[in-house]
């Protein structure tokens, strides 16, 4: 692993792909667990915080109702830890982990992960938003080959062009000059900046995808309380902490302490 190379690629083009964040054995276990979870959601046997059987995301992977502790364990992969700590340091809190499992049609349209209300900001506001301090690191692990992500490299810290504004605000499904397809092979991990202009598309002939998306955040003791993200309200339940590995439980407790509604859900 070459952490400096990964950091340089991430800073420059907005993403970096690595082959070694997770061992092949762990990838096998995560793939098997992911199919089990998806089948439970599709059958109606268990469903914790998903968008529905075919809607593209299952957020409740850490819930003990699914019986798949490997999703908590994956945060502790030694190589993943080295990458995360190189970006964020050692004081961390839980970010997210969810399964991207689109089936049938899937096209997010072009966007940045800064919210719909921030698609058309004035120059100074957009630049302040894009160039704030790094507070977290996200990744996507391909559990089967995944050609679904398109992005515009080097767009994560600059103001949009007129063409990009058209794609972000008016026609989210148009082509953009310089767009690239980030096709992941099974077992590859993408670290990427969500401020990069990007789009997810399930190509013709591909019936489903299976990508594990995760993230961790920097933790500071003086952070302000935040409103609970509705996708993660289930994590307020009393049974979540005891189901996690000790280190991940600590990160969950750091997250829990920042929620305005921190009692059981």
Give the model confidence (pLDDT) of 134-159 as tens digits.
Answer: 999 999 999 999 999 999 999 999 99
Is the per-residue pLDDT at 207 higher than 60? yes
pLDDT at residue 57 is higher than 60: yes
Handedness of CA 95, 82, 148, 104 (dihedral sign): negative
Q: What is the pLDDT of residue 262?
A: 60
Sheet (strand 180-184) strand order: 180-184, 146-151, 198-200
Q: Which letter does DSSP use for residue 107 in this model?
A: B
**3-257 CATH fold:** Jelly Rolls (2.60.120)
Residue 192: what are its φ and ψ, rounded to 5°?
A: -155, 160
Task: Decide if pLDDT at 10 tops 50.
Answer: yes
Task: Give CA–CA dist 173/196, Å, rounded.
Answer: 16
Percentage of the chain lying above the pLDDT 90 cut:
80
pLDDT digits (tens, 9 = 90+) for 86-134: 999 999 999 999 999 876 678 899 999 876 556 688 899 989 989 999 9
- Listed by start position, the domains of the chain span 3-257
pLDDT exceeds 60 at position 264:
no
């Amino acid at each position: 692993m070459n952490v400096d190379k990964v950091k340089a690629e991430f800073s420059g083009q907005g993403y970096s792909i690595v082959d070694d964040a997770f061992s092949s054995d762990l990838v096998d276990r995560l793939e098997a667990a992911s199919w089990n979870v998806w089948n439970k959601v599709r059958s109606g046997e268990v469903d914790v915080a998903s968008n529905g059987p075919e809607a593209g995301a299952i957020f409740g992977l850490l819930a003990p109702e699914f019986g798949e502790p490997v999703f908590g364990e994956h945060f502790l992969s030694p190589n993943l830890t080295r990458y995360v700590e190189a970006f964020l340091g050692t004081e961390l809190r839980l970010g997210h982990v969810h399964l991207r499992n689109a089936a049938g049609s899937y096209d997010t349209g072009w966007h940045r992960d800064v919210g719909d209300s921030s698609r058309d900001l004035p120059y100074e506001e957009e630049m302040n938003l894009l160039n704030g301090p790094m507070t977290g690191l996200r990744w996507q692990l391909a559990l089967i080959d995944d050609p679904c992500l398109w992005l515009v490299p080097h767009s994560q810290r600059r103001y949009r062009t007129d063409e990009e504004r058209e794609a972000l605000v008016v026609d989210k499904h148009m082509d953009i000059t310089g767009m690239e397809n980030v096709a992941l092979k099974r077992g590859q991990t993408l670290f990427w900046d969500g401020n990069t202009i990007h789009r997810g598309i399930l190509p013709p002939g591909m019936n489903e995808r299976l990508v594990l998306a995760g993230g961790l955040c920097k933790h500071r003791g003086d952070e302000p309380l935040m409103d609970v993200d509705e996708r993660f309200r289930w994590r307020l339940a009393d049974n979540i902490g005891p189901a996690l590995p000790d280190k991940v439980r600590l990160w969950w407790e750091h997250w829990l302490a920042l929620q305005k509604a921190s009692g059981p859900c």
